[in-house]
């Protein structure tokens, strides 16, 4: 490979930002100072650099945070440092919503206009911002606001994420947020934020608290204190794991009947066993903390309030599957969780809970955190591997599966945050006891993200099999004086149900037989004030925006689906309404049947369920 460099130099700041990620350049060949007496006599093939390609995304993020966008000079420098062809690096950079390959001002507000925030006035907020600040994307004022998909703060909607670039770059979210606050922050004025909350209302009530397993430490411990974590049961599970040995841990997890909480409900013990048995080395474990399904915020609540639990659980996963290196792939829109998780990993490492000799027990384990950069698809496990590897996060074809060909092509165990944290509970009470919680097929407790038109939105932990009605009861039911109209179960990739579904038992098997999915635990409630047609259009827009673009059914199907829904909404059908509905169902079929990954396969499910269940876009009430 003969790299063609970009003909532009980085600024001193860009160079510094990249060097902080990659270390100083080793030679003049790689963007360092040219020393003729050394560099003039050696040539570098670039192999060592290419092995560090997994640092491409972190380096691009460093550029974005320093300059506010990815400049030619900056990208060119990263390419020289890592021996990556500029066209490929540009292909990666231009994929992510939080990276910009066009100039962007130093201060940017990402204002959520997704489902839950819409029920809390996000559209009105956007309209007011247009008056106060200017149109979306306008940069004259030296700052800009942009509409964003769900930011994972639905319990305190409406939400916004702020980014300040420069030498002292910083990201933070504000929820609930007002248009006036967005304006003030963009203008650099002092502003008052809302009081912090942990997002899990059950933790505020002593009675409810007693029954919590996954949320047991949320709101109780200082998320920055390892001592606090240990004083509240932390690291007892890893201790137990070491007693049991890797096979013993896997036996407990299998006995527990734990199914993955990331959406696909795969048995965790089976996955771990498959990885552990692979003769190929090394093995990896990955914690999927990308959480970008609209309406999902459960993993954030754990990561922000009990980060050590994720560190401990991933360490156990590594121990059980024979992996010495673990990655947490964290949603880019979760700056607070990032800071707390990084601090927890440092603290754990400093006290021997990570590193060469974990707890003096003779095994090695380290964790690296990688941040996403604004791409829902990067949560799909194989797209996530590509993202870490510094490639475009396009899903891979399966088979082969991650247990044999995962991260860097090696056997990999990948699990959702909530799945992993369940393992702490399994080791605390034992696999068989865990299996006694919930229903026979859906063991344990689950975190549900209740949002929308309820009294007390938030993450709720209930036993699997709890009735939907009782879950909503915990959240105080529908807002006072209003009436339940629809519930979105499982997020944008899930399905709508009506008030007739309140007796549904929230277990995998009952959901399956009712033809719905619990997905990532989204329970979004809509009352009669919400325009469901508008909700459906927003979902269609989401999938069009988030398709990776690799396969035709999803790349074009999501566009045609959105267009047909807009024609219906505007009463400009091609042919008749029936014809449009038939077209939509054929688009749904090809997306479901022929798409490469779960995004395309579910891109029509919520839309179809809404069209079938509610009289939408028929000129009458919608």
Partner 1 sequence: MSVPVPLDPPRRLVELEVDGRPVRVPEGSTILEACRSEGIETPTLCFLDTLTPVNVCRVCVVEVEGSRVLAPACSRRVEPGMKVRTDSDRVRTSRRMVLELLASSVDLSLASPDVGRWMRDYGAEPERYGPPAPAAEAGERDARRAGHHEEPVDGLAATVAQPVKVDNELYVRDYSRCILCYKCVEACGVEAQNTFAIAVAGRGFDARISTEFAVPLTESACVYCGNCIGVCPTGALMFKSEHDLRRQGNWDESRQRVVETICPYCGVGCHVELHVQDDEIVKVTSPLDHDITSGHLCIKGRFGYQFTQRRAPVGASPDPGGPPEHAG
Ligand X SMILES: Cc1cc2nc3c(=O)[nH]c(=O)nc-3n(C[C@H](O)[C@H](O)[C@H](O)COP(=O)(O)O)c2cc1C
| Interface with ligand X (CB under 6 A) | 260-264, 266, 288, 290-292, 376-377, 379-381, 414-416, 419, 597-599
Cβ atoms within 10 Å, residue 199: 26
Pick what 101 binds: ligand SF4, ligand FES, partner 1, none; C-beta below 5 to 8 Å, kind-dependent. Answer: partner 1
Minimal distance, residue 294 CB to ligand SF4, in Å: 15
Minimal distance, residue 436 CB to ligand X, in Å: 21
Please identify which residue in 115, 182, 347, 536 interacts with ligand FES, judged by CB under 6 A.
115
Q: Which is nearer to ligand FES, 302 or 407 (CB)?
A: 302
For residue 417, CA distances in Å to 285, 306, 400, 421, 483 come to 12, 11, 24, 6, 34
Q: Which is nearer to ligand SF4, 459 or 548 (CB)?
A: 548
Chain positions 371 to 390 lying near partner 1, rule: CB under 8 A, are 374-375, 377
Task: Please tell me whether residue 95 binds partner 1 under the rule CB under 8 A.
Answer: yes
Please identify which residue in 265, 453, 464, 596 interacts with partner 1, judged by CB under 8 A.
596
Minimal distance, residue 263 CB to ligand X, in Å: 4
Pick what 154 binds: ligand FES, ligand SF4, ligand X, none; C-beta below 5 to 8 Å, kind-dependent. Answer: ligand FES
Question: In whole angstroms, what is the distance from residue 6 CA to residue 94 CA?
Answer: 16
Beta strands at 522-527 and 445-452: parallel, antiparallel or unpaired: parallel
Task: Please tell me whether residue 174 binds ligand FES under the rule CB under 6 A.
Answer: no
Question: In whole angstroms, what is the distance from residue 19 CA to residue 21 CA?
Answer: 5
Q: Which residues bind ligand SF4 (CB under 6 A)?
A: 377, 395, 547-551, 554-555, 595-597, 599-600
Beta strands at 412-416 and 283-289: parallel, antiparallel or unpaired: parallel
Pick what 156 binds: partner 1, ligand FES, ligand SF4, none; C-beta below 5 to 8 Å, kind-dependent. Answer: none
Using the CB atoms, write b or e for 526-559: b if 16+ within 10 Å.
bbeebebbebbbbbbbbbbebbbebbebbebbbe
Question: In whole angstroms, what is the distance from residue 392 CA to residue 407 CA?
Answer: 14
Residue 172 and residue 159 in contact, taking contact as beta carbons nearer than 8 Å: no
Minimal distance, residue 95 CB to ligand FES, in Å: 22
Calculate ∠ Cα 519-551-410, nearest 5°. Answer: 70
Task: Please tell me whether residue 454 binds partner 1 under the rule CB under 8 A.
Answer: no
Residue reference for tokens 């792939």: 329
Minimal distance, residue 562 CB to ligand SF4, in Å: 14
Residue nearest to ligand SF4 (CB): 600
Q: Which is nearer to ligand SF4, 314 or 551 (CB)?
A: 551
Q: Which is nearer to ligand SF4, 320 or 597 (CB)?
A: 597
Pick what 572 binds: ligand SF4, partner 1, ligand FES, none; C-beta below 5 to 8 Å, kind-dependent. Answer: partner 1
Q: Which is nearer to ligand FES, 295 or 438 (CB)?
A: 295
Helix (H, G, I), strand (E, B) or coil at 527: strand
Q: Which is nearer to ligand SF4, 143 or 602 (CB)?
A: 602
Residue reference for tokens 């200017």: 134
Binding segment for ligand FES (CB under 6 A), chosen from 25-33, 113-121, 162-170, 200-208, is 113-121
- Please tell me the chain's helix, strand, coil percentages from 3-state DSSP, rounded to the nearest 5: 45, 15, 40
Pick what 133 binds: ligand FES, partner 1, ligand SF4, none; C-beta below 5 to 8 Å, kind-dependent. Answer: none
Residue 324 and residue 365 in contact, taking contact as beta carbons nearer than 8 Å: yes
Binding-site size, partner 1 (CB under 8 A): 68
Helix (H, G, I), strand (E, B) or coil at 588: helix
Cβ atoms within 10 Å, residue 507: 22
Using the CB atoms, write b or e for 223-251: b if 16+ within 10 Å.
bebbeebbebebbebbebbbebebebbbb
Residue 186 and residue 145 in contact, taking contact as beta carbons nearer than 8 Å: yes
Residues of this chain that interact with ligand FES (CB under 6 A) are 112, 114-117, 150-154, 157, 159, 294-295
Contacting residues toward partner 1, per CB under 8 A = 1-4, 6-7, 72, 75, 85-91, 94-97, 99-102, 146-147, 149, 374-375, 377, 392, 397, 541, 544-553, 555-560, 562-564, 566-567, 570, 572, 574-575, 583, 586-587, 589-590, 592-596, 601
């Amino acid at each position: 490979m003969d790299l063609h460099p970009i003909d532009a130099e980085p600024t001193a700041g860009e160079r510094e930002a990249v060097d902080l990620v990659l270390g100083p350049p080793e030679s003049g060949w790689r963007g360092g100072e040219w020393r003729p007496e050394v560099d003039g006599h050696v040539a570098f093939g670039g192999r060592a650099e290419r092995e560090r390609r997994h640092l491409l995304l972190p380096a691009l993020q460093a550029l974005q945070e320093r300059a506010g966008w990815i400049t030619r000079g900056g990208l060119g420098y990263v390419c020289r440092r890592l021996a990556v062809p500029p066209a490929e690096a540009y292909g990666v950079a231009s994929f992510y919503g939080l990276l910009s390959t066009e100039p962007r001002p130093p201060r940017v507000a990402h204002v959520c206009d997704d489902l839950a925030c819409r029920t809390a006035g996000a559209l009105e907020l956007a309209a007011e911002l247009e008056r106060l600040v200017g149109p979306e994307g306008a940069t004259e004022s030296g700052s800009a606001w942009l509409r964003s998909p769900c930011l994972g703060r639905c319990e305190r909607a409406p939400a916004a994420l702020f980014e300040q670039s420069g030498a002292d770059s910083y990201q933070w979210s504000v929820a609930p947020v007002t248009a006036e606050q967005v304006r003030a922050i963009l203008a650099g004025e002092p502003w008052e934020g809302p009081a912090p909350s942990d997002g899990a209302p059950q933790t505020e009530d002593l009675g409810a608290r007693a029954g919590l397993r996954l949320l047991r430490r949320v709101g109780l411990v200082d998320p920055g204190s390892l001592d606090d974590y240990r004083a509240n049961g932390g690291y007892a599970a890893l201790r137990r794991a070491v007693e049991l040995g890797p096979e013993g841990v896997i036996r407990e997890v299998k006995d527990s009947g734990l199914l993955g909480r990331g959406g696909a409900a795969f048995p965790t013990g089976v996955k771990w066993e498959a990885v552990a048995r692979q003769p190929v080395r090394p093995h990896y474990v990955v914690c999927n903390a990308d959480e970008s399904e609209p309406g999902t915020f459960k993993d954030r609540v754990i990561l922000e309030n009990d980060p050590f639990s994720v560190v401990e659980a991933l360490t156990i996963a590594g121990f059980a599957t024979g992996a010495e290196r673990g990655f947490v792939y964290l949603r880019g829109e979760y700056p607070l969780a990032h800071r707390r998780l990084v601090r927890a990993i440092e603290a754990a490492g400093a006290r021997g809970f990570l590193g060469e000799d974990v707890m003096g027990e003779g095994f090695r384990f380290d964790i690296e955190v990688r941040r996403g950069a604004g791409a829902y698809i990067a949560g799909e496990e194989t797209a996530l591997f590509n993202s870490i590897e510094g490639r475009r996060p396009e899903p891979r074809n399966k088979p082969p599966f991650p247990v044999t060909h995962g991260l860097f092509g090696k056997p990999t165990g990948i699990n959702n945050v909530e799945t992993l944290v369940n393992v702490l509970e399994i080791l605390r009470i034992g696999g068989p006891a865990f299996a006694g919680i919930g229903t026979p097929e859906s063991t344990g407790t689950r975190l549900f993200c209740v949002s929308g038109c309820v009294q007390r939105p938030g993450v709720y932990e209930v036993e699997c099999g709890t009735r939907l009605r009782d879950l909503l009861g915990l959240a105080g039911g529908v807002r006072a004086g209003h009436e339940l109209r629809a519930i979105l179960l499982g997020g944008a990739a899930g399905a709508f149900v009506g008030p007739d579904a309140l007796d549904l038992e929230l277990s995998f098997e009952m959901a399956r037989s009712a033809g719905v999915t619990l997905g990532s635990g989204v329970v979004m409630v809509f009352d009669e004030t919400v325009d469901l047609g508008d909700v459906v259009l927003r979902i269609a827009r989401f999938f069009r925006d988030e398709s990776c673009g690799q396969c035709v059914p999803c790349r074009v199907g999501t566009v045609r689906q959105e267009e047909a829904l807009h024609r219906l909404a505007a009463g400009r059908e091609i042919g008749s309404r029936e014809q449009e509905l038939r077209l939509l169902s054929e688009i749904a079929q090809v997306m479901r049947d022929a798409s490469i990954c779960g995004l395309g396969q579910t891109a029509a499910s919520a839309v179809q369920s809404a069209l079938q269940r509610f009289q939408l876009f028929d000129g009458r009430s919608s």
